[in-house]
């Protein structure tokens, strides 16, 4: 059992014992301690016990104190030796973990570019695709009214010019105004599709353009001067502008 201080006497005994063990006793204190030990022989065992404890304390305390030391600088030559030990023991290459992480990050960043580009492409595709889907290719129809009939050589050149301006379309040749009128009032099927009609009326020396979209039907009449190509070009621009709106 450890000795417990319950009274002034116990406290005094402890202090005297400590001072005696630490060789700090005055003569008077030494005499007082001896008198106490003589009066209470059981304190002799306690005194020896305290002496043993102090011995261990003297062994342990310096180590405890040294463990908490905070002064001193690692010699420069030791650092590389210790880092070598770290690499050998913990299995890291000479380059630091930071460098490795940096490499991984760089790689990741490179992939991020790719992934970012892919994401951007996908986003653009998502935006653009519906545009194409909602705006299918317009139907282009071209007709020419030539009341004199298609026998003249100049007609051939004019038809070629019209076909060249709207490739892939057939130029309908009408020699009857009523037939053309019926054609003009009969729109092809195709809900939601834009239809553009270009009618070259040689007799009237004009090009009538009709563009029917979801927004409505737009028309324009272009006079044909000495150069048909100019009017054809204007007609083509009008069609293009209406289709793209």
**Listed residue (182, 20, 215) closest to 199, CA to CA:** 182
CB of 54 to another protein, least distance (A): 6
For position 240 contacting another protein by CB under 8 A, the verdict is: no
Smallest gap from residue 89 Cβ to another protein (A): 5
CB of 114 to another protein, least distance (A): 29
Min separation Cβ 30 and another protein, Å: 15
Closer CB to another protein, 18 or 107, in the complex:
18
Which CB atom, from 22 or from 229, has the smaller least distance to another protein?
Answer: 22
Which residue lies nearer to another protein by CB, 86 or 118?
86
- Minimum CB separation of residue 40 from another protein in Å reads 18
User: Per CB under 8 A, which of residues 26..85 are in contact with another protein?
Assistant: 50, 52-54, 56-75, 78-79, 81-83, 85
Q: Choose between 26 and 137: whose C-beta lies nearer to another protein.
A: 26
In 3D, which of 176, 157, 174, 164 has the Cα closest to residue 140?
164
The minimum distance between CB 32 and another protein, in angstroms, equals 14
Q: What contacts 178, CB < 8 A, 6 or more positions away?
A: none
Q: Does 98 bind another protein (CB under 8 A)?
A: yes
When binding is defined by CB under 8 A, the residue of 91, 149, 192, 225 that contacts another protein is: 91
97 contributes a contact to another protein by CB under 8 A: yes
Residues in touch with another protein (CB under 8 A): 2, 5, 11, 14-15, 18-19, 22, 24, 50, 52-54, 56-75, 78-79, 81-83, 85-87, 89-92, 96-98
């Amino acid at each position: 059992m450890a000795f417990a201080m319950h009274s002034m006497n116990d406290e005094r005994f402890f202090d005297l014992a400590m001072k005696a063990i630490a060789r700090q006793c005055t003569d008077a204190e030494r005499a007082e301690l001896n008198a106490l030990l003589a009066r209470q022989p059981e304190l002799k065992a306690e005194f020896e016990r305290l002496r043993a404890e102090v011995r261990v304390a003297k062994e342990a305390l310096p180590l405890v104190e040294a463990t908490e030391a905070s002064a001193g600088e690692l010699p420069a030559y030791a650092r590389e030796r210790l880092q070598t030990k770290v690499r050998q023991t913990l299995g890291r290459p000479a380059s630091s973990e930071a460098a490795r992480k940096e490499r991984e990050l760089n790689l990741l960043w490179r992939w991020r570019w790719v992934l970012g580009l892919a994401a951007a492409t996908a986003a653009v595709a998502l935006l653009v695709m519906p545009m194409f889907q909602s705006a299918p290719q317009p139907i282009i129809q071209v007709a020419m009214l030539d009341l004199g009939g298609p026998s003249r050589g100049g007609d051939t050149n004019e038809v070629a010019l019209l076909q060249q301006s709207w490739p892939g379309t057939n130029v309908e040749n009408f020699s009857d105004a009523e037939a053309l009128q019926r054609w003009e009032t009969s729109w092809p099927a195709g809900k939601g599709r834009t239809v553009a009609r270009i009618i070259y009326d040689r007799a009237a020396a004009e090009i009538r353009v009709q563009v029917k979209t979801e927004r409505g039907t737009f028309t324009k009449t272009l006079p044909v001067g000495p150069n048909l190509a100019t009017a054809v070009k204007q007609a083509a621009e009008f069609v293009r502008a209406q289709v793209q709106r």
